[in-house]
Chains A and B, each alone.
Chain A
Amino acid sequence: MENTATQATPVFIERAPYEKGFADFFEKNLKERLQKAETDRLELLKEYDHRKTVGYPMYVPVILLAGILFLYADPQFGLFVGIGLGALLYQWIQGPVHKYRSNVKEGIVAELVTFFGELSFSESRKLDTQLLEDSGIVPGFTTYNGGDHLSGNYDGVDMEMCEVELKQKGNKDREYVVFKGEMFHIKLKKTFTGKTIVKKDSGFLGNAFGGIFTKLERVKLEDPKFEKEFEVYGTDQVEARYLLTTAFMERLLTLRDTFDKNGTIQCEFSNDHLFITIATNRDLFEAGPIEESCLDTEDIHIFLSQMESVFQVIEVLKLNKYTGL
């Protein structure tokens, strides 16, 4: 556990061409915020340690009470009391951690995204539900949780992205997670007549089974690496190939790798928008553990590279250029 009395001064050193100008931005807009966040973190860490010291031993009487109720009164009531009190106690202990994470998002992340121009951050906002329901790459769901929403305009192109968790009711009304990860919605300046879907390759049987129920045609591409990883379906063979150039396919794989090399990426072109999903268990905008200093700028480098990979997708499709076609 860290209890440093003096703070190091955070410094940002530009490492990549897309980070050009960020060092100045960091000095003017982020450095003081990070130092304040670090001061707050140390205070919250003290509070967290105190709550753990008091709170963990409290589990003993809670378990005892629940046990007595379970054995000598109503078993269901005993379970309810045990789980309920246990959950409340846990939330109380974790209170400073939640506050720290919220402080970082509101104080740091919200300011960080303004570096890219007209972009803004909201912890609670999420993508429109209809967008997910209309999509051919999003599984069916009964519960939709979203947040850490980033939206705005990049070089004339409207875009938004957020973290999404989707659940589906299964047997006996139990819910299970069908998707967790990041979703991107990019409004195109060009309108496409057809629909093109890029899905993860599901193997011979999975692809054959999936192909039966879709009205879209299979689009076979020349890139063997891309063909091995993905299955492409579309209503227009030419339009699909116009969109899925070698450059775009490379950018799509780079986008996936910057967010999570082991993640699953899929995308859909439809009407006037591009919709991308990356299934990953990583949280994009979460602060590190409360025990670790938030003055380390490594996460900022990672975030900048992730945003750059999103912008590269927009640029390779020339979504910011109107060509009259």
Chain B
Amino acid sequence: MQKYISKQNLNTLLDTMIAEGTRVVAPCLNAGIPLYEPIKSASEMVTELLPRRSSKEAFFPVCEDIMSYAKEGQHVSLKDIDPSRFQETVLVGVRPCDAAAIPVLDAVFSWDYKDEFFLERRKKTTIIGLACTDADDACFCSAVGLSPGETKGSDLFLTPLEGGGYACETFSDKGEALITSHKELFSEQTKAKALPLAEPQTEKIDLKKVKAWLDGHFEDPLWDCIAVRCVGCGACAFVCPACHCFDIVDEGTEKAGKRRKSWDACGFWKFTHHASGHNPRNLQPKRYRNRIMHKFKYYDDKFGQTLCSGCGRCVRICPVGIDIAAIVEEISKK
């Protein structure tokens, strides 16, 4: 289904949904930082800035309770999470690089054991992607086979038009349902031209070639060479739309508390550290190798997909300028 919606009607749509009790998550400013967060009014939406963290947190929050416990003498009672926490949600204004990573994560959260925390939110969320008109030189979606107009992951995709408003295209039943239920706000497509999309400066990388090299180079001087300066923080993983490692911890008192799931990162030395003192990935280059391997080999081996959508956040945020796009490009030329 292809339609047109004016900027004003888009705001009306969001405000109507908010009034109807739908949780609307959009890029907005929080204490000065652009983030994907629930908004109370469409006017809070800020689409000009790339959110500092990706939209994965609409499904996989930074930290969430997964159960609570209470002890009384020898007895323990557990309380499961309240399913009402998973609200009907519309995730709007999502950059193509963020939206494209979401279905990639479906694979890990649904193989064999089903992680309902992720999957229930997925089920109840409609994703409205927004074509990207603004790239910087850290962006590399085009290098990993995506583009500023990529619709993967979006139920409904908006392309900004010259003269205002958006062309809307649906890519799923959810997208169609959203239009159908608010059809008065949409009109037939216009002839207006799309605004020029962003132009990432990176050439397409042959990811098959990258994987083929990784298949045979678990041991290679490259890892020391690129990762000796890695400081071992979790910034790259935490801003990444595809990184999904997490920790599970208990927090509370002797008597009662919560079990929580929170983001973790393979760059941390503690990540694989055994209580015995043994650590299979005891040095930073080994940990950084795991990051690249997981993204461009292991996830492909397991699920046939690449764990990187080229958003460039890790490139911008790395304290020591480690540039995954440059690394993958270098590997592709080996």
A, B in one complex = no
Interface on B for A, CB 8 Å cutoff? none
